Structure 1
Amino acid sequence: MLSYFYDYLTQFASFYGIYFNVAGTIDIVPVTYVFKH
């Protein structure tokens, strides 16, 4: 489930490019935090 969601985020980021990089950074941080812990 989480791996699928993470893969979706990766595709979403590559699709939206800079927009996701700016607007989605705050959302990406908790996700990577969960994966590391």
Structure 2
Amino acid sequence: MIISPAGSVSLVTNSNFLLLYYYIIASYVKYGAFSLS
């Protein structure tokens, strides 16, 4: 979890970052599975 000094001010930014992060991880896992298979 990302801890930000700004607190609630950056909740939206952190949420967008987490969505992007999970999207990248999902893509990496998907392509990784294809390359392993």
TM bucket (normalised to shorter chain) is 0.3 to 0.5
Greater relative contact order structure (CA < 8 Å, 6+ sep):
2
Could you state the TM-score of these two structures normalised by the residue count of structure 1?
0.44
User: Which structure has the greater CA radius of gyration?
Assistant: 2
Could you state the TM-score of these two structures normalised by the residue count of structure 2?
0.44
